[in-house]
Homo-oligomer: A and B are copies of this chain.
Amino acid sequence: MSDTALIAALQKITTATLTTVLLKKGIRRSWMKGPQRLGGGMLAPGQARIAGRAFTLRFVPMREDLATPASWSSPRSTRGAIEEMPAGCIAVIDAMGIADAGVFGDILAQRMAVRNVAGLVTDGVMRDVAGVLETGLPVWCQGAAAPASVAGLTFVGWQEPIGCGGCAVFPDDLIVADGDGAVVIPAALAEEVAKLGAEQEELEAWIMDEVKAGRALPGLYPPNAETLARYAARKKP
């Protein structure tokens, strides 16, 4: 499957379904604790879903001799990292869950939008959120804080293994994010997960119709043999 096809397939699957498929493959740590869709309300319906390869960024805690506005001019800076991001990637930022210093603000978000980055996921927070939302860049984070990253964080590099929201994320893992949060899919499992996820979505849509029609849950969800037979029969032309 081409990368384009893989990402398109994943984008049609809910993160809820993806975590269930990954659980069946033995992966329990796939949902990142913390990131929620910025600007759509914590729990609003109908939010867009994004999918893409992870481009990782790593921070360590602030130290006054290092985390300064001057450090922004270093080649090993968040600015440098943004210029390396390929179109369509999702930036995943390890902020160690720190909620009182915004990892990025509106100017950096605007540059990412210009470069066609597909989204930003972090276990930290954003700043200039009004401006960030105007850029149109889809963002999943823990919330907002006014202080700049240097108030609490020191940037140390990109495309390294990171932790984000309690999950390990490796460069080029697959990321999907929607109204239930953000999920990481190990790169080696992504094609199989996309296939199984699509099948699961189709089955659950049919089950939902059955529930709306008044059918009780036991035997229907999860489906027993009789239900699966009905499901198989329905699919025939």
The distance in angstroms between the C-alpha atoms of A192 and B172, with both chains bound, is 41
* A179 contacts B31, C-beta separation under 8 Å: no
Instruction: Give the one of A33, A99, A146, A212 with max B CB within 10 A.
Output: A146
* B96 contacts A179, C-beta separation under 8 Å: no
Q: Which of B36, B102, B181, B214 contacts A180 (CB 8 A)?
A: B102
A28 proximity list for chain B (CB < 8 A): 28, 64, 147, 151
Contact flag A146-B110 (CB < 8 Å), given A45-B134, A61-B29, A69-B222: no
Q: Which of B72, B130, B147, B222 contacts A73 (CB 8 A)?
A: B222
The distance in angstroms between the C-alpha atoms of A152 and B204, with both chains bound, is 21
A72 proximity list for chain B (CB < 8 A): 221-222
* A43 contacts B217, C-beta separation under 8 Å: no
For A77, give the chain B residue with the smallest CB separation. Answer: B218
> A196 an interface residue at 8 Å Cβ cutoff?
no
Instruction: Give the one of A66, A67, A129, A224 with max B CB within 10 A.
Output: A129
Identify which of A1-9, A156-164, A229-237 touches chain B: A156-164
> A133 an interface residue at 8 Å Cβ cutoff?
yes
Instruction: Give the one of A33, A44, A148 with max B CB within 10 A.
Output: A44
Binary per-residue interface labels of chain A (31-65) against chain B in the complex, 1 for a CB within 8 Å, 0 otherwise: 10100101101111111000000000000111111
Kindly provide the distance from the CB of A103 to the nearest chain B CB, expressed in whole angstroms.
Answer: 12
The distance in angstroms between the C-alpha atoms of A72 and B23, with both chains bound, is 15
